Structure 1
């Protein structure tokens, strides 16, 4: 079965899913964000097959989300988030807030986030880049952009 190429669609959600829409990619990004940067660390933490991990890491490197950095003469590499990858982690933090609210259950969130600027435990919220007011799905109108298909 051939995979649909979401990257060619005139939709930013589809294009993003083309990069991280399969289940392993966000988990790989999460692990790299928390400091598990080497192949063996990732494989052990995720329990993912070596073949799938190799494919996913290569795909994320090819898409500019990760970069490979040698750490040994064999050569062996560790994986580092690029600026593009760091912004995808921002997206994952929004997913964390949703999961904590709707799926954490009585046990509560499995991880807490402490904000460097204020030192407080917090969660990510979406705000308008112009007025800084909360920005939710019902607070916006969708208008055609320059990249819209005619």
Structure 2
């Protein structure tokens, strides 16, 4: 019997969710969208992903209602929809899991509650006010420590500065 390529025969909501977000690259695309990366070329350059694969993933995420596509200044941009933003706890938890169990080849990103400036804990909770802020209420910054995998694309350079999630990442025009 041939190995299947999907989960369509599984009667489970986890399997259905994996049909949408379980392909390689998909969660990294979503991570970058949470960071405020919106343009195709910036996603491609930051992820080192082929044009064909990125196109397929973005088209699928738009079709599944996770991203919306709009045109700004003549360029297509991709924004997280409500369904896409609802994936934040999954993206956050997987990043924290990787940080703890896969090894730290580069420093973690630190997330703080924008309202009070307190770093959130491993569960995404703000210890100062007891809330679990949504991605729109978080600021991300690089963690301390050496980064031997330092990237030099314009998205990576922009992410070296604190930045509020879901807001357009300011990419300097001279960073070509």
Shorter-chain TM-score above 0.5: yes
- What is the Cα deviation at residue 39 of structure 1? 0.4
Alignment partners' CA distance in 2, 1:15 and 1:43: 27
- What is the Cα deviation at residue 3 of structure 1? 5.3
Gaps in structure 1 of 5+ consecutive residues: 128-150
What TM-score do the two structures reach when normalised by structure 1? 0.72
Report how many aligned residue pairs link the two structures: 125
Query: Are residues 1:120 and 2:121 paired?
Result: no
Change (3 A) 1:108 1:39: closer
- What is the Cα deviation at residue 13 of structure 1? 1.3
Change (3 A) 1:88 1:121: same
Query: Are residues 1:79 and 2:88 paired?
Result: no
Alignment partners' CA distance in 2, 1:30 and 1:4: 24
How much is the aligned-residue C-alpha RMSD, in angstroms?
2.5
Contact 1:97 1:123 in 2 (8 A): no
Other-structure match for 2:33: 32
- What is the Cα deviation at residue 125 of structure 1? 2.2
Alignment partners' CA distance in 2, 1:35 and 1:47: 17
| Runs of 4 or more consecutive aligned structure 1 residues displaced over 4 Å after TM superposition | none
Alignment partners' CA distance in 1, 2:24 and 2:6: 16
Gaps in structure 2 of 5+ consecutive residues: 126-176
Other-structure match for 1:6: 7
The structure whose Rg is larger is: 1
Contact 2:92 2:124 in 1 (8 A): no
Change (3 A) 1:63 1:97: same
What is the DSSP-based 3-state SS (H/G/I as helix, E as strand, rest coil) of the residue aligned with 1:77?
Answer: strand
Change (3 A) 1:117 1:59: same
* More helix by percentage: 1
- What is the Cα deviation at residue 16 of structure 1? 1.1
What TM-score do the two structures reach when normalised by structure 2? 0.62
